[in-house]
Amino acid sequence: MSWRLAWIEWRRLMRTPFAWIVLALTSLLLGWQLLQTLDAFSSAPAVGRLFGLSRHLGLELFGLAAVLILFITPLLTMRLSDSSNSLLSTAPLRLREILLGQYLALLGILALVALLPLGLSIPLAVGTQPDWGLLATASLGLLLLGSSFAAISLYVFSLSRTPGAAAAGSYGLLLLSIISQYASADSSGLLSWFGWPPHFLNLQLGWVRSSDIAYFLLLSLFFLGLALHRLQLRRES
């Protein structure tokens, strides 16, 4: 049932101009960043090209994609919030089925955004030799990042019935995870551990570490669990 609900919600989102505008703008920005990266790499001295084009793409192109996913996710979640409220009050479905369906629908669109940098890099195979392993690992990082952002946004939206306030809360929590990396010199603090940038950076550089993958998976499960608990309280009330 969750898969069917996810398919219905995904199709509903993709039938709106909003989803296509988001994908079009994302493609435009990523295409511009790709051209900028290629121009900077080709005009750099030999020492500046020491690590290869793929490393630059992983840091710059996939880095921009991560920022775009951060800003896109709360907006997509806000588009799902209306149907979520109606499902909670009328649909004869278990809460975990509703939550999982909403989550998978979000991932379906975020996966398109996460795979755009890899798709834009394919033409580079003509005349160059990209490190496809590094680019695939960076794409995996974007997928894991999107899954975590989707879970966090769903939790924040479960706290508030006002979409605008929930979107603002989502942005605040997501941005806090970045600011915490630089706001404190104590790298062992809770806020510093919560931050996702160092875990994503390893994947950007092509380093596949089980600890980084486990971090994103646990982060997603943690916030999905919190969202499920909150939805249970809302249905009971």
CB atoms closer than 10 angstroms to residue 205: 16
> Would you mind telling me the total number of residues written for the chain in this entry?
237
Residue pLDDT tens, the chain, 237 long: 667 777 878 888 888 888 899 999 999 999 999 999 888 887 766 655 556 788 889 989 999 999 999 989 988 888 776 655 555 555 566 778 888 888 999 999 999 999 999 999 998 888 778 889 999 999 999 999 999 999 988 988 888 767 666 667 777 767 766 655 555 444 455 555 567 888 898 999 989 999 899 999 999 999 999 888 888 877 666
Measured over the CA atoms of residue 44, residue 35, residue 110 and residue 131, the dihedral's sign is negative
Among 73, 72, 92, residue whose Cα is nearest residue 156: 73
- Give the C-alpha separation, 197 to 145, whole Å: 10
Give the separation between CA 114 and CA 118, rounded to whole angstroms. 8
**What is the enclosing helix (H) or strand (E) of 129?**
none
At residue 106's C-alpha, the angle toward residues 101 and 109, to 5°, is: 130
- Compute the distance between CA of residue 125 and CA of residue 150 in angstroms, rounded to an integer: 32
Q: The pTM is what? A: 0.86
The domain ranges of the chain are 2-236
Rounded CA-CA distance 150/134 in Å is 24
In angstroms, the CA 173 to CA 166 distance is 11
